[in-house]
Amino acid sequence: MAAKLALVGILILLGSAAIAAPELCNSVDDDGDGLIDEYDDPISGNPVYVGQACNGIGECGNTPGFVECFDTSTASCDTNPGGSNDQSITEICNGLDDNCNSQTDEACLNFSLHLRKGWNLVSIPLNMTNSSVKNIFGNITIYSYNNSWSMPKYISPKLGYWVRADKSANITLFEKKIKGQSIAHANGWSLVSSPFLEETYINNTALKNSTVFAFVNSSWLNYIPNKINTLKKFMPGYGYWIR
Q: What is the pLDDT of residue 181?
A: 62
Measured CA to CA, the distance from residue 104 to residue 82 in angstroms comes to: 24
CA dist 200 and 208 (Å) reads: 11
Q: What is the pLDDT of the chain when averaged over all its residues? A: 77
Query: Where is pLDDT greater, at 125 or 121?
Result: 121
- The rounded distance, in Å, linking the Cα atoms of 5 and 52 is 44
Identify the top-confidence range among 57-71, 89-103, 135-149, 185-199: 135-149
pLDDT computed for residue 238 by the predictor = 96
Tell me how far CA of residue 181 lies from CA of 65, 102, 103, 192, in angstroms: 31, 27, 23, 11
Are the C-beta atoms of 82 and 66 separated by less than 8 Å? no
Phi, psi of 34 (to 5 degrees): 85, 0
pLDDT bucket at 199, cuts 50 / 70 / 90:
very high
Q: What is the greatest pairwise CA distance in the chain?
A: 109
User: With bands split at pLDDT 50, 70 and 90, how would you rate the model's confidence at 146?
Assistant: confident
Q: Which residue has better confidence, 220 or 194?
A: 220
Average pLDDT of the residues in 64-82? 61
CA-nearest of 48, 79, 44 to 64 is 79
In the DSSP assignment, the letter for residue 90 is: P
In the predicted model, what is the mean pLDDT of residues 24-46?
71
pLDDT higher than threshold 70 for residue 145: yes
Q: What is the structure's pLDDT at 186?
A: 66
What type of residue sits at position 214? A
DSSP assignment of 173-226 equals EEEEEP-S------SS-EEEE-S-SS-EEGGGSTTTTS-EEEEETTEEEEE-TT
Point out the least confidently predicted range of 8-17, 112-121, 187-196.
8-17
pLDDT at 46 exceeding the cut of 60: yes
Predicted TM-score (pTM) of the model is 0.62
SS3 per-residue string spanning 27-83 = CCCCCCCCCCCCEECCCCCCEECCCCEEECCHHHCCCEEEEECCCCCECEEECCCCC
What would the mean pLDDT of 177-203 be, rounded to a whole number? 81
Give the pLDDT mean for 14-32. Answer: 62
pLDDT > 90 fraction of the chain, expressed in percent and rounded: 40
Q: 3-class DSSP state for residue 151?
A: coil
- Stated as kind and residue range, the H or E segment containing 242 is strand 239-242
> Closest Cα to residue 192, out of 147, 139, 141?
147
Q: What's the confidence (pLDDT) of residue 34?
A: 79
Q: Percent of the chain having pLDDT more than 70? A: 63
Which residues fall within 8 angstroms of residue 160, CB to CB, at 6 or more apart?
121, 122, 123, 144, 191, 192, 193, 238, 239, 240, 241
